[in-house]
Structure 1
Amino acid sequence: MADPISSTPSPQPDLTRNRLPTLFEVLSRRTLPPVDLFSFYIYMRDQQRSVDYLDFWLDVAQHMSLCRHYVRELRRSVLVSTPDPEKASQRSSAILEGLGDMSHPAAGPSMYASEKERDVDAQMSAYLREERPGVHDSPQSSNDRRGRPSPKMGTPREVATDSNSPAHTVARQDIRASAEKILYTFLLPGAEREITLPGSITQDVTASIEDFGRDDPEVFDVAKDYVFQAMERDAFPGFLRMKALGNLIPPTLIMRLIIGLVSMFGGFWAAFILIFLNESRLTRCWLILPFTLGVYCLAGYQYSLDPILALIGYSEYTPFNFSRVREPYVKKLLRQRALMVLAVTLFIDAALCVLFILVPGKRL
């Protein structure tokens, strides 16, 4: 399983956001628990059962970071100031020199903060296409380079970093290995974690990498857009309902449903017995216990929310494991819903208790 958290520095979360976050904000690590990337990863893995799509998106975003790091390091090197004409053309050198610092976070297609960021990444991809290995070689030597990535090549998550240390220098072969790893892991028929994409997209990506030797980030743009839109349409609304409007997960909800039904059955059973035995109203006050437990659990199941946990600021992400709610707008939503659920619980509980405690007893 791929680690959802990469080594690329995260953008600062927007603490002033007075709305629910978008999927792109979650993927860009601009949100806080319980609507952060880690929580979305757990949701895709445990509830949606389609974490391979998220891993593909993250690997492609990491491939973009790897390419940026490579180009940044290249611009800093002496070879950029005095490019070797045998290795770099004048056109590619001009593209390289015209790039900015490329410090903006990795983004998906059509998801840039400005046209400038889009242009910078487009120029970077153009440079990588111009300088791809084998572009000036014979067809035979180009064919010899094809094949699966070498086991010795680091994965994108291992080599991509913004560190300036020489130990983290990215070689061009790492970019090639990263592109091939994505292709062979997610896109080829029968791949280890194959994701379902339109055949035309898969064919275009495969041909670009294997036949034309491309490894620039733009080669994955269409596939990445398709996966993003699929997650936004099919998975993200359910994630927001579970995490922003509730704080419990399905296994816990089923357990609460069972406990609630058993408690309510026990409460009604005890209530009728005490009434028909003509027990005192003071004795019947013990009915508060099963009715309160039953109504509380059933209300939690109905609203996917534990009001006490919401008021103290916790949300469940795996069975009986909780994280603190840190997203301001979500915290406010959960507290409002918690007060509403508590009011409903108290009203129904009080109505049941008053009914079965104050009703006159009659011994049969």
Structure 2
Amino acid sequence: MDGSRNRLPILFEVLNRRTLPPVDLFSFFIYMRDHQRSLDYLDFWLDVAQHMSLCRHYVRELRRSVLVSTPELSLDRERSSPQYEFPDDSDDKESNQRLSAFLRAETPDPSMSAPRRSMGDTLDTPPTGRPSFMSSPMDPTNSSSIAHTVNRADVRASAEKILYTYLLRGAEREIVLPDPILQAISHAIEVDGRDDPDVFNEAKNYVFQAMERDAFPGFLRSKALGNLVPASVMMRLIIGLLAMFGGFWAAFALIFLDITPRSTRLWLILPFLIGVYCLIAHQYSLDPIMGLIGLSEYTFMEFYQVREPYVRSLLVKRSIWILGLTIAIVVALVCLYAFVPGKRL
């Protein structure tokens, strides 16, 4: 986590769990589920990331088994033969390419594999998709969370699961991708027998760019510049309209009944304050009191603390500005109706 970040996070940081609430991965998951209705795209990206972690874990286990069976390699690894040279576990692009190249070199003969469905087949009984990552203890970006020993069959099963869950026509959680990408993935897995992470690179990048373009700006507006979910925003609109109606009704009643003393009209501050406060909170999707105390809503009437420093400062500044605007409008309304001469009808 980069606590000194003096800017809004980018999507890559959110997906890789480098941010804090309310712009963390959990919040983005809720936003994609409840607002965008496109959770399958996020789950696909996470499953591909989890597949990458599985591949790294497999290679690490293979390296460990080789070093245990041939201890002399650990003493003189610089002179080891090429078949014992494994890619490291870092996340950089070059390391990922070495990892994929190593797995491709180990790819078994596809003719020995079990029959698979082709890209044109319809899934009559599609496999069950991965449960939401929020209900799984496995961190999809952390290979150390895989507690059991991984073999090549696990890597193969992971790749096929992604294909059958998201990419085949009629899949249970089919996502929309360009046909050339889908055909290339299907051919690589079903014909070439590949299961290395590079198989999904194009699809993963396409989904990332789609989320970055279509979903992430709205997520930042919702969570970094506001702290209310749509249900709460609508509730404040209803309360605000009712309070303003009550305030105007009471104001005209006091004027046309010529109620004395005139200081009685100062009670109009209550309905006007509630009404203006709720209407402005609806307009900006931001409750200023919640913003000042550092609370944000992730589902209706369920809250968490704002822990991302830059977002916290943004919400505090916007909350102070909204409170000032609310007070100014309320004072103007109360003064207007308090000093209007009464006239009994």
Which band: TM-score by shorter chain?
0.7 to 0.9
User: By how many angstroms is 1:146 displaced?
Assistant: 3.5
SS at match of 2:85: helix
Aligned match of 2:179 = 199
Matching residue of 2:77: none
Q: Which residue of 2 aligns with 1:46?
A: 34
Q: 1:331 to 1:95 in 2, by over 3 A?
A: farther
Say which is worse superposed, 280-289 or 37-46, in terms of deviation. Answer: 280-289
Counterparts of residues 118-267 of structure 1 (less than 5 Å): 118-134=93-109, 139=111, 141-142=112-113, 144=114, 146=116, 162-163=143-144, 168-267=148-247
Name the residue aligned to 2:19.
31
The CA distance in 2 between the partners of 1:162 and 1:192, in whole Å, is 26
For residue 319 of structure 2, give the secondary structure of its aligned residue in structure 1: helix
Looking at structure 2, the residues matched to 49 and 268 of structure 1 have their Cα atoms a distance apart, in angstroms, of 40
In the alignment, the residues of structure 2 paired with residue 82 and residue 98 of structure 1 have an alpha-carbon distance, to the nearest angstrom, of 15
Whole-Å Cα distance in 2 between the matches of residues 96 and 192 of structure 1?
A: 40
CA distance in 2, matches of 1:318, 1:128: 42
Query: In the aligned structure 2, how far is the partner of 1:131 from the partner of 1:63?
Result: 17
Distance in 1 (alpha carbons) for counterparts of 2:175 and 2:259: 65
Tell me, in whole angstroms, the C-alpha distance in 1 between the residues paired with 2:338 and 2:137.
66
Q: Give the 5 Å matches for 1:306-321.
A: 306-321=287-302
- Cα offsets for 1:189-213 (capped at 9, x unmatched): 1000000001111111111111111
Percentage of identical aligned residues: 64
CA contact (8 A) 1:34 1:244 kept: yes
Aligned residue number for residue 49 of structure 2: 61
Aligned pair count reads 323
Deviation string 1:253-287 (CA, Å, 9 cap, x unpaired) is 11111111111111101100110000122221221
Give the residue type in structure 2 aligned to 1:246: G
Match of 1:74 in 2: 62
Are residues 132 and 269 of structure 1, via their aligned partners in 2, closer, same or farther at CA, if it must alter by over 3 Å? same
User: What is the deviation of 1:99?
Assistant: 2.1
**TM-score under structure 1 length normalisation:** 0.83
Structure 2 unaligned residues grouped into runs of 5+:
72-80, 118-122
CA contact (8 A) 1:95 1:127 kept: no
Partner of 1:99: 87
Alignment-mate amino acid for residue 215 of structure 2: A
Question: 3-state DSSP class of the match of 2:183?
Answer: helix
The letter for the 2-side match of 1:362 is K
Output the amino acid matched with 2:281: G
Q: Secondary structure at the match of 1:47?
A: helix
TM-score, length of structure 2 as denominator length? 0.88
SS across alignment from 1:317: strand
* 1:118 Cα deviation after fit: 1.2
* 1:323 partner SS: strand
Per the TM alignment, residue 333 of structure 1 is displaced from its structure 2 partner at its CA by 0.3
- Asked if 2 retains the 8 angstrom alpha-carbon contact of 1:150 and 1:177, the reply is no
Give distance in 2, aligned partners of 1:150 and 1:132. Answer: 26
